[in-house]
Amino acid sequence: MKKLFFLSVIASLILSLFACKNYQDENNNKNQNTQTELIVFHAGSLSVPFKQMAEEYEKLNPNVKIFLEAAGSVASARKLTDLNRYCDIFASADYKVIDDMLIPEYADFNIKFASNEMAIVYTEKSKYETEINENNWYQILMKEDVHYGRSNPDADPCGYRAVLVSKLSETFYKKPGFSDKLLAKDNQYIRPKETDLLALLETSAIDYIFLYRSVAQQHKLKYIVLPDSINLKKFELKEFYNTVETQINGKVKGEIITQKGEPMVYGITMHKNAVNKKEAMNFMKFILTKGQTIMENNGQASLIPSKSDTFDKIPDDLKEFATK
């Protein structure tokens, strides 16, 4: 009996040890599989480079999963201000969206990190595609049998930049009344963000789009390089760009924001109450270092470091990417 009792005790101990080991193994596996999740709201025109950055970063950091959500920059900001949505990192096609809509309630700082320019984008199926050029595009777009698309100015910087380009063109080409006539045409093809227009272009529902040159390059589309006086690219022409303006809806009902013409500058920030602040900071550093090569390969020139009015609020680890 004693022998049987002794064997029973030994068996119980062995089973307990196995159970403990299995529990530890399960916990270890669980810990190894635990991922830090980052949510990034970004402009539609950043979809291609940000996807590439996220994939590269996840390869280097397998414990991190990055969720990207593209929309017009103004619409993205309203996800925070109106819908109480959350993101760790916010990247806008216009840095002023961050200044006007997110600081100081949702973000403390703003880093200018990339530039772009407006273009007229089309395909080989577009009407008059063999004739259009930088000197006659405005005439082609006004033809009755031609349809063009643009994004919603109240949702997307590309939309209000299309309006600004039309107003600058009126002055540059000396065509009084051109802007009003163009903006009154083809409004059925206005979409929430610029990348939403690509399907309409590819199916020939429209012939041309006001679009960022970088997006055209990324999607291997044809485009007209517009004169610097109207493409919103050159810092040296800021004063001329400033001669035109348009109004969009603000962050609260009834508020109107005036958008003046100015060089195209992208901005990036981090939520002031970021849940995963350490990892968000690390991904921000990646975007502003190795990510800049990815941006430039996708047609968007780096502006780092650039002057920031929020320099004192920028975390110490990110100050090298801006100037006072």
Q: Return the minimum-mean-pLDDT range out of 2-16, 66-80, 291-305.
A: 2-16
Model confidence, pTM: 0.82
How high is the mean pLDDT of the chain? 90
Tokens standing for residue 153 = 């100015």
43 in helix, strand or coil? strand
- C-alpha dist (Å) from residue 187 to 191, 204, 275: 9, 16, 41
The answer to whether residues 12 and 126 touch, using CB atoms and an 8 Å cutoff, is no
At residue 188, what are phi and psi to the nearest 5 degrees? -70, -10
176 close to 168: Cβ distance less than 8 angstroms? no
Residues 9-65 have pLDDT tens digits of 454 544 444 444 444 444 444 444 578 999 999 999 999 999 999 999 999 999 999
Domain 35-115+266-323 maps to which CATH number in 3.30.70.360, 3.50.50.60, 3.10.129.10, 3.40.190.10? Answer: 3.40.190.10
35-115+266-323 against 118-247: fold identical: yes
Which CATH number is associated with domain 118-247? Answer: 3.40.190.10
Nearest to 125 by CA among 13, 180, 49, 201: 201
Q: Which amino acid is at 44?
A: G
Domain ranges of the chain: 1-32, 35-115+266-323, 118-247
